[in-house]
Structures are given as structure tokens and as C-alpha cells.
């Protein structure tokens, strides 16, 4: 039986009124499932039915809307080889239809806006993280990219810390205007370009690092605009969020967040100084503030207007599944000034290379084909995209079995034959580190220290496999070696270059969350609540499997606004499955939202969701192959999956049904086991948007009319109090017997 034949259908009118009671949208004779609420009817018809209102092209039934999306995804799945048989494909199609029809799952808005409409490769992702460089061309390109994303219903996020501060000089003279000034332009575009061509507001996030010189202006910018709005409201202007008061001030279309490190939080705890560094020269301190005062400024601003939020950089990177491809929005690893770079002009110390490049001299550096997308042998000379001085950082000295030494920052990655790129602070004596100079490769393993052209020092013909085996050394010691000004460069072809005879990773042009997209979906956890209050674990797990498969199919069949985002989305294939209605589920089970039992139940539901998502991703990888960047990131990804597995085993079992605890642990056992064997199809599988519970002052629709939730009983009284009232639900009026 088709899912549509399992439910009763009825015709309804969808209507939406504004604050004044005036009808702003109406569509009659809409075919809806009888168990859908009027609110669901109004939202779906007004936002997601496609076609011009009043024309034959306008959708009139939920069947049309669901089929438009489900049939498109299933068709792409057949073409992509995701199903072994046609019966499997049809089963997937019916199950996906069932999940959506019964409100067990929903995709993000761009899927409903764009799939099955004219474009052959529609925009399907709701989340895009865009990078920006410190150039006018890049800043204006970002404005255009964001505008096009808003047009098709997506949201964006950008870390503006790469833009020089308002205290730094411009190359042509004068002073830069700083990132906050450009935020006004970005905000204006977001305000006038409605999401997906509807009346939904654009979704935008802006981030600034806590050590940016303009951080104080960034923290207070929204509060200052909020105060202007309050003044206008006091003067009689409309106070609604779409009214004249808020339309007249800046920064109302974005959420602002400050990115902080553990070091910043320690500085706050210890009431230490906090340095703000120049963007153009990370070794130069622009200003010093008290960390605690900056934190208080952030807290006071958030109290007044809700922004800024905080992102914890250190924690984010500790759980980063693609760490080999670069840290997430963090500073790059580097080398001290005396480290020598192998160039076609000879061995040049990094400090000299930077000064000469700054003066306009052009260089070619050597990269090795071992780090290419299709690994090979031999070296290649390429022109760096950038040579930069990146700040003042701790340096370590590595000593190898031949007596050779390399000085670099602890996080800089060095190429090994056995493990690929490995950070300097993670090298072990068992790693076979490749050396790439003539002394190591064909002579007595001594470093070439002359300034003669490297053509005589590095073999130009590809090295044989036996020569590569000989050109390896082992680390014998690692020790701290002070704090120095450090440098780095970006090699564009194989993303590596040679320093003092060692093959190393370059300044990563790709920071996992930058220039990527994420298509989202949410599972409605209340739909998996049995009558006795237990969780339908098997149904919940199966919903995850079906949804992750559908989201994965979308990746290669969607369009992307820039070449970078398209490339990285294919390379890493990040997905964002989450859940909704956690607060309602806890309320239905009589569990306080902020309680140990509530948190443990949330942990179990999240563990099952995420573990099953990665397990399904591994199953897809078994049949189709892992994401392109997996080979380089296998070790860090399995490390993070292992951390999740350990966390699942540490969820307290008190007050949680044993079956749910077992399901959480089993999900991560399977995710780790399958991933270790087959890899993962997706570098990221889940994204959980914050959801909340009702407050005591929330209005509840009951048979007594709209009443405050707290008035139905005594919030300070017994856990279960008798209640005799009907409340409105998505299934219609239901009797509530307990408070």
C-alpha cells in the first residue's frame, strides 16, 4: 500500500494574518492529511507549495509537494547506484515518503523550495560557510555569494577575522575601515533579499576571533544599534521585528559570535592580559586588554540583545574529523625565520624569502608528487600563492636518526611514508619520515646547505621506490626550542613544499568548515514516543538510516554558488542530520528539562542519532566508496569516532531504560567497526540546532481558552498532579490528565 493510501485527506484553506489581523496570504481547497494541524497547513502551503498563486502551476496538495521531492531524490539514487535492486529503490522511496507524510522527518527549506522545480541541479543545502580574504575583490565577492544563497533559501556563516582591523594601514595609504564596517553592507543585503523568495528572513552568522583588534567594536555593535531602535520605539515607531524601528538600524539580520580558545578562557579565569594582534602581521600586538573585562563586555552585550554567542575553538578542533586537511578556522602551523625553503633559486631562509617576496621578487618552490591527489614520485617546482609571516609562536626542535634537525611549530605536519602527514608533536620513533634533498636521497644523507640552484641538489627525474625507501629517517628526540616569529606559504598544486630537506604541509587553503555546505534534516523525536512513554528505538534508528541516505544522495546532485564550495562539498560531503521537539518529549515523559535524567535522556537520543548516522555513512562507503578526503583523514576521523564511542559508554544509566542505553552503545560500536573497515562516505553526519522547552509563562491552547502553562498546576508541587483539561495538539484536542 502506498503511504498516501494509509491516511485520510481533507480540503482546507490556508491563511496567514499580520499583526493587525489583515490577511496577507490565503489559498483555498488545499488537500492536507486530516491529522496535520492548521498551523502546519498554513506554514507548508504558504512557504513550500511551488508555483505562482492563482495559476495552474500552483501546487494544491501535500501529495504534490512530497512527491516532487521524494521522487527526485529516489531518481537520483537510482542513477547514482545507491540501490542494489529496483525493489530496494521503491522501498526507499516509500519509506522516505512515509517519514515526511507522518511528520517524522523534514528536510531543510531549500529542498522544499528547489527540488523538482526547473533547475536540473537545484540548491539543496541550508548551511554555507564562506571564506573571505583581506581584499576588496574578495569582500565584494562574498556579498554576491551571500545574496545568491539567500535568494535560494539558504543561510551563511563567515569568520571575518581575515579582514584587517580599523587600526591597520592600507598599502596605498590611509587606514582600513575594519570588518564591522563591511558587516553593515552584508547586513543590508540580507535584509532586502528574502530567503527563497518568500517572506522568511535571511539567516546569517558572523564570527570574529577573540584576538582580533576590532573585537570590542564587534562585541558592542549590535547593542549600540539596539539602543537606537529603543529610542525610535519610544518615539512612536512600530516595535515589531518587521517594523520601522528595527528596519532603520544595522545588524538585525545576523547572529554574531566570538571565537575563543582555551587559552583565552584560562586568561579570564586568571585575570590575565589578552593581546590583540594585527591581521597583516601576527607578530605585532595592536592592543592589550584584560581578558576578564572583554569577557564581561561579551556577557553584558549578550544580556542586552542576545549577541554575541561564543564558539569554543579548542573543543571544536579536538572533535574535528578532518584534522589532516587543516584546523577549523584557526591559525596555521609555521616555521622560524632560519628554516630553509628549497626553491629554484637555492635554499633560502624563510625570513629572507618573506622579505624578498614582499619586495616583489618571484620564486618557485619544490613540492613532491607524494602528496598529490593521485600520488606519484618526484618533485615539481611551482609558484606559491602566498608567502606570509604568521605571528609569534612556540617552536620545537626535531632530531632524526641521521642527525638532521627540523625546527617548526608543534602543529606543523610532516610527510611520513607510513602515515601520511603527521603533526610534529605527534611524530613517533616508528614513523618513517621522507627526506627530499640530494644528500639524503643519493649521497651520504647530509643536508645540502649551499646557495647553489637546487636543480643540482634535488633529483629532477622521479625517484624509484627503492630510493624512496632509502630516503627516510626516524625521529629520535623532540624538545621545546623557544618562541619565535614564524612564517608559512601556500603551495597550490600538491599542497606541500620542502623545508631543510623535509616534505611538509603548506598553509592550508582549506579549513574544513570554510567554503563548504551542509544540507540539513531533522527527525521529530516525539513521533517515536510509544504510548507507555518508551522510545521506539528500532523506528528511530531506521528513520536515521533512510534520512542519511537521502541527504547523501543530494550532495552530488545539488548546485553550489562557488567553485570552492562545490569542490569541498564533493571532497568531504558533510551532512547535517539533527532532531527536533526534545523539549516536548521530555515534557511528555514528565522529565524536567534541566535535570540529570533529562540530560542523560538527551545524550542517549543524540548518541543513537549520531552513531547510527555514521554507521549508515560507513555502509554507503562500503558500496560506493568513502569521501575523497578520507584517506588523508582516516586517523583523525577514527580518533574522533572513538571519542564519541567512549562518551556513549560514559552516559549514566540511572533513570534511562536499558534498551536505550544499549542502543546508544551499539550504534557507536558499529560506527567505529564499519568505519575502520570501509571508511565513511561523509566527513560530517550530524548538526543539532538548539531546541528548547516551554517556559512557565507560555500560553497553552486548552478547553478553557489560552492559559499560562504554570496556571494548570503548581510548578513547585508534586511531580504528578491530577489535571482534567483538553489541550490542542497536532493530532487535534487531547485530554491532559497530569501536570
Q: Is residue 334 annotated as part of the catalytic site, yes or no?
A: yes
Pick the catalytic residue from 95, 226, 491, 509. Answer: 509
Pick the catalytic residue from 114, 253, 329, 332. Answer: 332
Between 451 and 542, residue with greater pLDDT:
542
583's enclosing H/E stretch is helix 582-589
C-alpha cell at 169: 594601514
Instruction: Give 719: exposed, middle or buried? Use CB within 10 Å, 0-12, 13-18, 19+.
Output: exposed
22-80 residue pLDDT tens: 888 999 999 999 999 898 899 899 989 999 999 999 999 999 999 999 999 999 999 99
Question: Rounded CA gap, 246 and 599, in Å?
Answer: 37
341's enclosing H/E stretch is strand 340-343
At 292 the pLDDT is: 97
pLDDT bin (cut points 50, 70, 90) of residue 732 is low
Closest CA relative to residue 494, chosen from 375, 346, 335, 325: 375
CB-based contact 33:101 (threshold 8 Å): yes
Class in CATH terms, 334-505 = mainly beta
DSSP string, 369-421: GGGSSS--SSEEEE--SEEEEEEEEEEEEEEETTS-EEEE-TT-EEEETTTEE
Question: Rounded CA gap, 307 and 196, in Å?
Answer: 25
Residue bearing cell 492529511: 33
611-662 residue pLDDT tens: 999 999 999 999 999 998 888 888 888 989 999 999 999 999 888 999 999 9
115-148 residue pLDDT tens: 888 666 777 766 777 778 888 888 898 888 888 7
Residue bearing cell 592589550: 288
C-alpha cell at 16: 496567514
C-alpha cell at 85: 535492486
Question: Rounded CA gap, 519 and 587, in Å?
Answer: 29
Question: Rounded CA gap, 536 and 566, in Å?
Answer: 38
Neighbouring C-beta atoms of residue 722, cutoff 10 Å: 9
Q: Is residue 332 annotated as part of the catalytic site, yes or no?
A: yes
pLDDT bin (cut points 50, 70, 90) of residue 695 is very low
Comparing 200-214, 344-358, 467-481, the range with the smallest average pLDDT is: 467-481
Residue bearing cell 627525474: 461
Residue bearing cell 536499558: 658
- Kindly state the average pLDDT of the residues 516-534: 88
Furthest C-alpha separation in the chain: 92
- Kindly state the average pLDDT of the residues 85-110: 95
Q: Is residue 436 annotated as part of the catalytic site, yes or no?
A: no
Instruction: Give 273: exposed, middle or buried? Use CB within 10 Å, 0-12, 13-18, 19+.
Output: exposed
Pick the catalytic residue from 334, 408, 507, 518. Answer: 334
Q: Residue 457 pLDDT > 70, yes or no?
A: no
At 616 the pLDDT is: 98
349-403 residue pLDDT tens: 998 998 898 788 888 999 888 887 677 888 888 888 768 776 666 788 999 999 9
Q: Which residues pair with 397 in a beta bridge?
A: 407, 479
Class in CATH terms, 132-324 = alpha beta
Q: Residue 700 pLDDT > 60, yes or no?
A: no
Domain ranges of the chain: 132-324, 334-505, 699-738
Angular region, 380: left φ>0, alpha ψ -120 to 50, beta rest: beta
Amino acid at each position: 500500500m502506498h503511504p498516501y493510501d494509509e491516511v485520510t485527506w481533507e480540503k482546507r484553506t490556508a491563511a496567514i494574518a499580520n499583526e493587525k489581523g489583515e490577511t496577507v496570504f490565503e489559498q483555498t481547497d488545499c488537500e492536507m492529511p486530516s491529522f496535520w494541524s492548521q498551523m502546519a497547513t498554513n506554514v507548508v502551503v504558504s512557504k513550500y507549495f511551488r508555483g505562482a498563486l492563482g495559476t495552474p502551476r500552483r501546487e494544491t496538495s501535500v501529495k504534490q509537494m512530497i512527491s516532487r521531492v521524494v521522487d527526485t531524490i529516489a531518481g537520483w539514487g537510482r542513477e547514482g547506484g545507491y540501490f542494489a535492486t529496483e525493489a530496494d529503490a521503491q522501498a526507499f522511496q516509500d519509506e522516505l515518503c512515509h517519514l515526511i507524510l507522518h511528520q517524522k522527518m523534514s528536510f531543510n527549506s531549500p529542498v522544499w523550495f528547489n527540488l523538482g522545480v526547473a533547475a536540473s541541479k537545484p540548491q539543496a543545502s541550508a548551511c554555507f560557510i564562506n571564506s573571505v580574504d583581506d581584499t576588496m575583490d574578495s569582500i565584494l565577492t562574498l556579498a554576491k555569494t551571500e545574496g545568491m544563497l539567500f535568494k535560494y533559501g539558504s543561510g551563511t556563516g563567515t569568520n571575518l577575522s581575515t579582514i584587517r582591523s580599523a587600526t591597520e594601514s592600507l598599502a596605498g595609504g590611509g587606514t582600513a575601515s575594519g570588518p564591522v564596517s563591511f558587516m553593515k553592507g552584508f547586513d543590508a543585503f540580507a535584509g532586502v533579499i528574502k530567503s527563497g523568495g518568500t517572506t522568511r528572513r535571511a539567516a546569517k552568522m558572523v564570527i570574529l576571533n577573540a584576538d582580533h583588534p576590532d573585537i570590542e567594536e564587534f562585541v558592542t555593535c549590535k547593542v549600540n544599534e539596539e539602543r537606537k531602535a529603543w529610542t525610535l520605539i519610544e518615539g512612536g515607531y512600530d516595535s515589531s521585528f518587521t517594523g520601522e524601528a528595527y528596519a532603520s538600524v544595522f545588524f538585525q539580520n545576523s547572529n554574531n559570535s566570538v571565537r575563543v580558545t582555551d587559552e583565552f578562557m584560562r586568561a579570564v579565569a586568571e585575570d590575565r592580559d589578552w593581546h590583540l594582534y594585527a591581521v597583516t602581521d601576527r607578530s605585532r600586538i595592536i592592543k592589550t586588554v584584560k581578558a576578564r573585562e572583554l569577557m564581561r563586555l561579551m556577557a553584558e552585550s549578550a544580556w542586552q540583545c542576545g549577541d554575541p554567542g561564543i564558539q569554543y575553538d579548542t573543543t571544536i578542533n579536538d572533535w574535528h574529523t578532518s584534522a589532516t586537511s587543516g584546523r577549523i578556522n584557526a591559525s596555521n602551523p609555521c616555521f622560524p625565520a632560519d628554516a630553509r625553503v628549497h626553491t629554484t633559486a637555492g635554499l633560502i631562509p624563510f625570513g629572507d624569502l618573506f622579505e624578498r617576496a614582499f619586495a616583489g621578487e618571484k620564486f618557485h618552490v619544490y613540492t613532491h608528487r607524494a602528496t598529490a591527489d593521485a600520488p606519484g614520485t618526484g618533485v615539481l617546482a611551482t609558484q606559491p600563492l602566498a608567502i606570509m609571516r604568521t605571528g609569534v609562536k612556540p617552536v620545537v626542535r626535531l632530531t632524526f636518526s641521521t642527525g638532521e634537525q627540523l625546527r617548526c611549530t608543534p602543529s606543523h605536519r610532516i610527510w611520513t611514508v607510513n602515515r601520511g602527514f603527521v603533526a610534529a608533536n605527534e611524530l613517533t620513533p616508528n614513523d618513517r619520515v621522507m627526506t627530499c634533498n640530494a644528500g639524503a636521497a643519493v649521497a651520504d644523507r647530509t643536508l645540502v646547505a649551499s646557495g647553489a640552484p637546487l636543480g643540482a641538489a634535488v633529483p629532477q627525474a622521479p625517484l624509484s621506490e627503492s630510493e624512496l625507501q632509502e630516503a627516510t629517517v626516524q625521529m629520535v628526540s623532540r624538545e621545546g626550542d623557544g618562541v619565535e616569529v614564524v612564517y608559512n606559504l601556500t603551495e597550490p598544486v600538491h599542497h606541500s613544499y620542502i623545508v631543510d630537506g623535509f616534505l611538509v604541509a603548506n598553509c592550508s587553503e582549506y579549513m574544513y568548515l570554510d567554503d563548504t555546505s551542509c544540507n540539513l534534516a531533522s527527525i521529530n523525536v516525539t513521533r517515536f514516543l510509544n504510548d507507555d512513554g518508551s522510545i521506539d528505538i528500532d523506528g528511530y534508528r531506521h528513520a536515521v538510516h533512510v534520512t542519511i541516505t537521502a541527504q547523501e544522495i543530494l550532495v552530488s546532485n545539488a548546485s553550489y554558488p562557488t567553485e570552492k564550495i562545490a569542490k569541498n562539498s564533493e571532497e568531504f560531503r558533510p551532512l547535517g542530520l539533527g532532531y527536533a521537539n526534545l523539549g516536548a518529549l521530555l515534557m511528555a515523559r514528565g522529565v524536567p528539562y534541566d535535570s540529570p535524567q533529562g540530560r542523560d535522556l538527551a545524550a542517549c537520543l543524540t548518541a543513537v542519532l549520531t552513531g547510527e548516522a555514521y554507521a549508515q555513512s560507513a555502509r554507503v562507503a562500503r558500496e560506493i566508496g568513502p569521501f575523497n578526503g578520507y584517506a588523508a583523514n582516516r586517523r583523525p576521523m577514527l580518533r574522533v569516532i572513538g571519542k564519541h564511542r567512549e562518551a556513549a559508554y560514559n552516559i549514566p544509566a540511572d533513570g534511562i531504560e536499558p534498551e536505550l542505553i544499549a542502543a546508544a552503545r551499539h550504534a557507536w560500536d558499529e560506527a567505529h567497526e564499519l568505519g575502520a573497515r570501509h571508511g565513511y562516505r561523509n566527513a560530517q553526519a550530524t548538526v543539532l540546532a538548539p531546541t528548547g522547552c516551554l517556559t512557565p509563562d507560555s500560553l497553552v491552547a486548552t478547553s478553557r481558552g489560552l492559559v499560562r502553562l504554570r496556571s494548570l498546576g503548581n510548578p513547585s508541587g508534586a511531580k504528578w498532579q491530577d489535571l482534567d483539561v483538553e489541550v490542542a495538539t497536532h493530532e487535534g484536542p487531547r485530554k491532559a490528565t497530569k501536570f
